[in-house]
Chain A
Amino acid sequence: MSETPLLRIEDLSVGFQVAGGAIIPAVKNLNLDLMPGETLAIVGESGSGKSTTAHAIINLLPGTGRITGGRIMLDGQDLAQASEAELEKIRGTAIGFVPQDPMSNLNPVWSVGFQVEETVRANGLASTKQDVRKKAIEVLAQAGLTDAGSRMKQYPHQFSGGMRQRVLIGIGLAANPRILIADEPTSALDVTVQRAILDHLQERTREQGTAVILITHDLGLAAERAEQLVVMYRGQVVESGPSLEILKNPQHPYTKRLVQAAPGLSSRRLVSARTSVSATGKAAIAQADASTGTATAIAVNNLTKVYNIRSGTFTSTPLTAVDNVSFSIERGSTTALVGESGSGKSTVARMLLGLEKPTAGSILIDGEEVDHLGKAGMKALRRRMQPVFQDPYGSLNPLRSITATIAEPLLVHGVGNRAERQARVFELLDQVSLPRSIAGRYPSELSGGQRQRVAIARALALKPDIVILDEAVSALDVLVQAQILELLNDLQSEYGLTYLFITHDLAVVRLIADHVCVMNQGKIVEAATTQEVFDRPREDYTRKLLDAIPGATVKFGA
């Protein structure tokens, strides 16, 4: 390539000042070149400095962050040294920005039209009132909103997440900037919406010849959308180059692990649990089969949940969250319940756990109907069936030590004395590969993945047969996610556990599940073995979901 880069970043360092004046580095000696019209993706886990880099380019660093060294060259001008007035001119007109969260980046008290008009005016795209309005409608129409004229008067809460992100992309591209920085533009959205938004973004930027810097944690997504990849780890670039080249031939050990772990790219079940269960696991399954007289751990028949949504003072409209759902899970196997937000998958989990009452239908655990259980029966059931929830930051009480947290189920069910419980806590910490030294610590001292391990240890404390995993790995970084999945898999083969794995992420499903139930709008639209669903999806909706897995279309050389 002989072209000169549009944007050249040389030795950029960014730090955050903490109390006492010390500066904690967030980005160290970063170099990158962005060619005109090119899409470049910066990939990294949380805390890798990828977003900080993006914010540093337009000098929108939050709080105490500042550029501590290096140059950001755009048209011979160093943005790192530019004054606030100069930057204001550059933002919007030369460099557009699409923020991460479409929910919080539109001001809820102003109409969408007003906010678009504001951008138009601020960037000097039009001056008279009519022109501004005309241009704003144009921006919204280009953003893919039908009926843009009447939508101008609506407020952000009347828009769906995807529509809001379209508006934000429209605002970012309104002034025809030469560079668009998109900071995780779709990570808050459902996969199918994500795909539509990224297609839209690609189309628009290609039309206008805009260069894009795409910030993402998803290697598959980055590979699919960008020509150039920059992989960041702990504030530094570990590897950069053409996307396919890096995917096919990763050089740095970190990149290698990342490529290996990316669920969208790899495609095998870790190890099928039912076939490779250890001797102890087999014994546990056989014993449970014998004692309950059935090999079915969970059977759900015609389960329905209807919520009454208040619409007026005395009126309410029924909303069917779960509609006539039936499935069953064989002991010692994993079934994944997959769906987008609002599909009713979490409601099914909550009903299974007895946190909600079904409107109709029945749930049988080990052949026993849950609805007929009394208070004591329910408590006994909870001993056999334990949950792990999504948010590792919210699911542990911040004021209780790790020991107290893990030992709580033992205490509630009156298992053992104090010393025995402590011993069991240590045993559980070993099982989830956490050092015993953290027993007296508090959740705030642990990372997300470690907290999720604690949550798993708590779930296993009572030696349950069934574990309900509600988006249990969705909030974790890719490598940590891979670790947790492996842990879950090991535990399953060791103890013959039955998993119900609830997730929106089909890519993860392939790694852990034996069976898949795809849910859409409260109904199960397809249920089959994982292999079948991925190889021969029968329903259009399933196909759409599969196509939306980022990286699914990336072809390896192998």
Chain B
Amino acid sequence: MLTRFISDQNLPDFMQKLRKFGGIEGPLRGEDGGVRFGNLSDGTTPDIHAIRTLLPAKKYLFAPEERLFNYTLQEGYKILLEDISPVTLFALHPCELAGINYLDRLLGGDAPDPHYAARRSQITLIGISCLPDEFCSCHISPSPLQALSDIFMNIVEGGFVVTVYSSRGKEIMEDMKDLAEERELPVPQDARRFFGVSLPLNVMSEIDTGLPEWQKLADRCLGCGACSLCCPTCACFNILEFAGLDGVSSERIRYWDNCLFKSHSMVAGGAVFNKGRAERFIYRYRHKQRGFGPLRGVPSCVGCGRCRAFCPIGLDLRVLTELLERSAV
């Protein structure tokens, strides 16, 4: 495969040229030490070695709060689609690419969610290689995930080996001719891959909901929501409608939701279908490791390690996986 090499020295110029294709959002380390995806304006330096951002790039495709419709007497419910400018998401780890790929399957497809599709169509993905830390649960083997990006950059001595995977990526790299040397280079093996692709068979078997460990985990869970907010593939949403002060109009807003909240399974009249936190844990586990509905059988844990890293008490899905692997033996 034809690859290109961009040297470390040329990276700022590469970024500068990249801005021509739209705003760049990438990992930035704040003064407080936190790493967040943010605007890489001229003069900012992305932290390309950061292991994980507080929120995944999901926030660009599926906003935490999004106006979906407004209602007026004349037009009824009218879909609100703001003009979205092109955005390049820079330095996405393979687990981020896997997360976006999952969201594409959930919210894209033949009859896509219109708000998701509008954002997605404006987004260019530039992946980057990385090294796992103790929270990551992606396994070590070659990865098909690079191909989910438009451009993938493997970090090597002195620069980046750049591979192009889409026509959009090709168009961008055409413009970088003076910065990128074209040469045949071996594409380094990615140290990561989508954790979910080859779960051990016993984990894919039916979940033993009778294990006492569920309750033990549930007793400790604070219900703070951190695990799902920071999960690249958690996309449960709630929709609320708010009436305007004119007594006629209203707006309908979508919010990120969380399966560990009681309201998640509550219906009119107050019945709650996942009453206890243990049941909600099972629900969450089932969704992450086995999928449901059209994505039945598609695990959605990408192994990014955020849920464990950010859980105030250190719970995560890997604990559950290990637990189930043990119990299935």
A binds B: no
Residues in chain B within 8 A of chain A (CB atoms): none
Binding site for B on A (CB under 8 A): none
